[in-house]
A and B are shown apart, each in its own frame.
Chain A
Amino acid sequence: MRSLSWIAVLFTGVVLFYTAPSLPPIGDPESPASSHVSPYYIENSVSDMATPNLVTTVVTDYRGYDTLGETTVIMTAGLACLLILGFWTPMRRHPTETDRLSFGSPVLDAAARLLVPYILLFALYVLFHGHHSPGGGFQGGTLLAAGVILVRLVRGRDCGWGVDREQAVRLACSGAFLYYAVGLITMLMGHLFLDYSKLPLPLTAAMRRNMGILGVEIGVTVAVAGTMILIFDCLHATPHEDREAEVSAERAGAEGHT
């Protein structure tokens, strides 16, 4: 088994090192990857959708279907985590004392209190300024989730501003739905799915596309943030044995009452 895997690795290595020299040199502006669709994207995206960040326009407009699929995949991954782990662990309403005391220290607490507002503010900046500078929905969503997860790590899992696992599922699904909704609005207007220039807004076509991109980015942000929180929550939920102990304690309590 060991030697078999070495043979596979060696074979792949030989193939890679034999074929790599036939790739175009790095930085060649005439390389095939840079000479078919990408010049069109670079030259037309500012006039088409008034968005200077070319990566944002490619992600959300020129390749909007792609990103729609990716958002759905992310949402599905979060739900899959819940299906694999969540049903064995209860969504606890009343945190125990150990939940509060299991993490954190005064230093961590003070640092988190200082950092979290700026992380969340930066997340919103990255989202809304993503048209004009590096940033966008995926990055903003991850930052939002990072803020919430930092609070959970430091203050215990009961502390997360009401974003519990159910709420995270709702966030993930509604974010993905927002993306679909923007596409459906353009369809209801009688045009193509995700054709932002046909959104019912009193603006020029380029600005309507700009607004469509913003709506889609907000959807992606919400979906990504919800999914990240959901995955984190599922992974550090109560272990199985604790659940069994809890159930037996509840049963003992119920029998005591009857």
Chain B
Amino acid sequence: MSAFYEIANYWGVAILLLVGLHGMLARPNLMRKLMAMNIFQVAVILFYLSFAEKTGASTPVAPHGLLHPLAADFINPLPHALMLTAIVVGVGTTGVGLALLVSIYRRYETLEEPELLEKMRRENA
């Protein structure tokens, strides 16, 4: 068990995650859903970067000439590496999402979910 203040980052992450989740589930606007998905993703990225931290360690770049760095002197590079790729993949998913939204808007001229469903129902009837 950790004390409340020792994991302060995680409370922030939890709040961001809930904001994202709520936005994705409850908002009727598709554009806002996509933005909420990005907030959700930022929460996950912050979570990973938080547990990469080590007290008293520096950035994971070894100084010039140091052949055998000690594990305690540098923060964990693995979550940083994973999140580096995750950010770029996040841009990719956002791009595809935006492309889908653009093509939905061109066809139905709305991004509000109730209106969109109504228009689709009328089209099918």
Contact = CB atoms under 8 A, between A and B. Distances in A.
Interface of A: 2, 4-6, 8-9, 12-13, 16-17, 20-29, 31, 33-34, 37-39, 41-43, 45-47, 52-55, 57-59, 63, 66-67, 70, 73-74, 76-78, 80-81, 84-85, 88, 132-134, 136, 138-139, 142, 224, 227-228, 231, 234-235, 239-240
Contacts of B98: 231, 235
Interface string B20-37: 011001100000000000
B124 interface: no
A46 B65 CA distance: 9
Contacts of B88: 70, 74, 138, 142, 224
A81 B18 CA distance: 29
Chain B interface, >50% SS class:
helix
Interface of B: 1-4, 6-11, 14, 17-18, 21-22, 25-26, 50-57, 59-64, 66-72, 74, 76-82, 84-85, 87-89, 91-93, 95-96, 98-100, 102-103, 106
A108 B92 CA distance: 28
Contacts of B10: 20, 23, 26
A94 B11 CA distance: 54
A74 B64 CA distance: 33
Tell which of B61, B69, B88, B93 has the most Cβ of chain A within 10 Å.
B88
Contacts of B74: 42, 54
B85 A70 contact: yes
B84 A136 contact: yes
Contact of B84 (A4, A34, A59, A84): A59
Contacts of A227: 92, 95
A12 B18 contact: yes
Contact of A20 (B11, B80, B81): B11
B102 A12 contact: no
Contact of A53 (B1, B14, B60, B68): B60
Contacts of A228: 91
B43 to A, nearest CB: 10
B95 A43 contact: no
Given A9-B21, A26-B9, A42-B74, 16 more contacts: A13-B18, A20-B7, A23-B2, A26-B10, A28-B55, A29-B56, A33-B76, A38-B71, A46-B69, A58-B78, A70-B85, A70-B88, A77-B92, A88-B106, A234-B95, A235-B99
